[in-house]
Structure 1
Amino acid sequence: METNWIIISDLILRGMAIGAIVATALVLISHSRSRGTSSVAALGVCTVCYLLISAPTIMPIALQPVLVAGATLLPLALTWMATVQLTDDASQRRPVLVLALLTVVTAALIPFWPAMTPIRGILAIALYLGLIILALATDSDDLVIDRRRFRRGFLVAMGALGLIVSVVEASGLDANLPNWIYPLQASAILVLALLFAIWALEPVADEPIKRTVSKSRADLTERVEQVMRRGIWQREGLTIGAFAEELGVPEHQLRATINGEMGHRNFSTFINVARIKAAKELMNDPSRGRTTILEIAHEVGFASLGPFNKAFRAQTGSSPREYRNRD
């Protein structure tokens, strides 16, 4: 009797989670929201497949191959959606996307090559750890408020759940789970689905709202520009916290100003625009022809050549050396 009650509870919770996922996806698609709709739809489909195939009840045989395929693709779908939302930097997306692809490929090989099971488990654990680290590591540089809320809530929680499930599967503990685990798992996914819906369905105006910039915000914008002209960007390891301290304003106000009034989504990109502009001027100066690229990198605020090369290529499409040697 108790087992029947647990199974019924589990089915209700999974049905609610599927309903929340489908409703969210339909609203996003119908309103053409611009927050990575394709990746969200893929994640929704794969999550629904996982909810159905991982239920304690047996699914119809005809549906099982489709559900297994969708569930297998879940790590890749989650990673695709997460990287779209977390960062605009392709080099930050690439490592976790490669891990996700390897996780999916090894999972697909398990029916034909059972020895891949522990490898898939290790890759999945590394993937979800990587997503959590990416969400946390890029948080301080992000100036977009809703994206910061998203990484702190949904993505860290989803990564933690994926990590727990992967550890259980890799250790073989999933072979004989007690029945109460299933509704617990379904409850966790339902909470995540609701968290995502709250974030994704936040009202967005069809057109940008015309608003008058407050005098205090305009004053802060001018102060930011003044400090930039004085060369604060030349400081190695400059953080938004140090910038806010220099201005004597709360960090959240500075984030809102640089993002909302000056149009930058990442603090490092905002600073690097000034640094790369100065670097190009130095390279174009005939009197600085003997100055090495490393010396220029240090002069404009980079601690080493690697980050300088990366930032320079991101803004100009060429390496510093290619830029200097151009015709």
Structure 2
Amino acid sequence: MTLLTLAVALFLSEASTRTGRYGAALTFAALLAEVAGLPFVQDRPVLDMALQIAGSASLPLFWLFARSWFDDDFRPGVTQMVWTLGYLGVSAAVIDGERGMHAPLQPLDGLLYLAGIALTIDALRYAWQNRASDLVEARRRARVAFVVIVTMVFLWTIGAEIVGRAFGGFAFAGVVGAIGMLLGIFGLALLLFGLRHRDMFAPVVPESALPLMISASPPPPPDLDEPLARALDMAMMQDRLYREPDLTIGAIAARLDVPEYRVRRLVNGRFGYRNISDYLNGLRVTEVCAALADPDQAEVPILTIAMDAGFGSLAVFNRSFKARQGETPSAYRRRHLETRPLSD
């Protein structure tokens, strides 16, 4: 419990970010689950049930935490709300029926396990994918460790609980599950503490690709990366390298003839971007905006303009454009073309 309390404090220190709030809620729910196992709580059925239901929120909160930590564009929507409330509803039904981990398996328990497995796998998927495009070095290193720790703990605790309930070894399952949970919490705490980074959870989403933005991390030494910054600027602004839809950090580094880590350090430390897609899409949106406001291109389809700028799909283009401009591409074009004669 002491470790969980410290973890709550750690995440509360990052409470200004969405990930920090999810992390604090996650660890607090896990703390309530531990409190529910205390003797004085079990003597109070109503309190015990309330704490168990609150503790069961740990898994969907863990899922939301992982999604928001490893995906800068994540915003919880209706789908995430349905999954979370559905999981809590099934958990409440299981708890209300007094079918805890010390009872034989029932069909509803199987549904709960399947939902938990689906949420965990989805969290691991978001932690693993797009590792190469992550510009926050501390978070990029954390992805692999996160996947390893969570997979081991999940297989350990869930496997022990299922086996124990299937074969009647409840005491053994409880001890093994508690050990696995303790090791998992300890491992994640060490991971987060060892990789403390003031920009780890920062929800930085640049509104424009043109201004330089200094992140919270110290910028790289000017004498090392100033020439690289000029070379990158030339490749993007003059050669329009960003127009390549499948452009990666590796391809940019190869074009500039430097190691990938120097490109990551420059784009994150100097320009303030947290992943390479944000950086490239910002440049693409800037080009699209100029084209949409150009009367000579008033008849050119918006999709054609977006594809020419390097966007690989309409969905990514619409999302990126609206996130930066606060309106749809068609509304942006209409507003600028309608007001153009007044400014001439």
TM-score (norm: length of structure 2): 0.75
Pick the aligned partner of 2:282 from 267, 273, 281: 273
Superposed displacement of residue 196, structure 1: 2.7
Question: For 1:27 and 1:291, how far apart are their aligned partners in 2?
Answer: 52
Question: For 1:141 and 1:251, how far apart are their aligned partners in 2?
Answer: 10
Question: For 2:186 and 2:72, how far apart are their aligned partners in 1?
Answer: 26
Q: Map of 1:114-133 to 2, 5 A cutoff?
A: 116-133=108-125
Question: Do residues 104 (structure 1) and 104 (structure 2) align?
Answer: no
Counterpart amino acid of residue 5 in structure 2: V
Pick the aligned partner of 1:225 from 192, 215, 233: 233
Give aligned-pair identity as a percent: 23
Pick the aligned partner of 1:61 from 26, 43, 46: 43
Q: 8 Å contact 1:87–1:138 — kept in the other structure? A: no
Question: For 2:271 and 2:43, how far apart are their aligned partners in 1?
Answer: 56
Q: 8 Å contact 1:110–1:117 — kept in the other structure? A: yes
Question: For 1:231 and 1:34, how far apart are their aligned partners in 2?
Answer: 36
Q: Which residue of the partner structure matches residue 260 of structure 2? A: 251
Q: Map of 1:1-327 to 2, 5 A cutoff?
A: 18-26=1-9, 29=12, 36-51=19-34, 60-62=42-44, 64-91=48-75, 95-96=79-80, 98-111=82-95, 116-154=108-146, 157-158=149-150, 161-162=153-154, 165=157, 173=165, 176-177=168-169, 179-202=171-194, 213-229=221-237, 230-326=239-335, 327=338
Counterpart amino acid of residue 52 in structure 2: V
Superposed displacement of residue 226, structure 1: 1.7
Superposed displacement of residue 298, structure 1: 1.2
Question: For 2:281 and 2:217, how far apart are their aligned partners in 1?
Answer: 29
Deviation string 1:26-68 (CA, Å, 9 cap, x unpaired) is: 3554x6676644333322222233345579x996322522431
Structure 1 residues 139 and 104 mapped into 2: Cα distance closer, same or farther (>3 Å)? farther
Question: For 1:126 and 1:48, how far apart are their aligned partners in 2?
Answer: 23
Deviation string 1:240-293 (CA, Å, 9 cap, x unpaired) is: 121122122222221111101111111101001110010111111111122111
Question: For 2:219 and 2:115, how far apart are their aligned partners in 1?
Answer: 48
TM-score (norm: length of structure 1): 0.79
Question: For 2:286 and 2:145, how far apart are their aligned partners in 1?
Answer: 36
Structure 1 residues 174 and 225 mapped into 2: Cα distance closer, same or farther (>3 Å)? farther
Question: For 1:254 and 1:236, how far apart are their aligned partners in 2?
Answer: 18
Structure 1 residues 175 and 318 mapped into 2: Cα distance closer, same or farther (>3 Å)? farther
Structure 1 residues 155 and 98 mapped into 2: Cα distance closer, same or farther (>3 Å)? farther
Question: For 1:242 and 1:97, how far apart are their aligned partners in 2?
Answer: 38
Larger deviation: 280-289 or 18-27?
A: 18-27
Question: For 2:96 and 2:170, how far apart are their aligned partners in 1?
Answer: 28
Instruction: Give the RMSD, CA atoms, in angstroms.
Output: 3.4
* 3-state SS, counterpart of residue 273 of structure 2: coil
Unpaired stretches in structure 2, ≥5 consecutive residues: 98-105, 199-215, 339-344
Superposed displacement of residue 228, structure 1: 1.1
* 3-state SS, counterpart of residue 263 of structure 1: coil
Question: For 2:164 and 2:197, how far apart are their aligned partners in 1?
Answer: 45
Counterpart amino acid of residue 60 in structure 1: Q
Superposed displacement of residue 227, structure 1: 1.3
Larger deviation: 97-106 or 281-290?
A: 97-106
Counterpart amino acid of residue 38 in structure 1: R
Larger deviation: 95-104 or 246-255?
A: 95-104
Higher relative contact order (CA 8 A, sep 6+): 1
How many positions carry a matched residue from both structures? 307
Structure 1 residues 308 and 173 mapped into 2: Cα distance closer, same or farther (>3 Å)? same
Q: 8 Å contact 1:294–1:304 — kept in the other structure? A: no
Structure 1 residues 102 and 148 mapped into 2: Cα distance closer, same or farther (>3 Å)? farther
Superposed displacement of residue 191, structure 1: 2.7
Structure 1 residues 273 and 60 mapped into 2: Cα distance closer, same or farther (>3 Å)? same
Question: For 1:278 and 1:72, how far apart are their aligned partners in 2?
Answer: 48
Deviation string 1:68-94 (CA, Å, 9 cap, x unpaired) is: 123211113212332332222135887
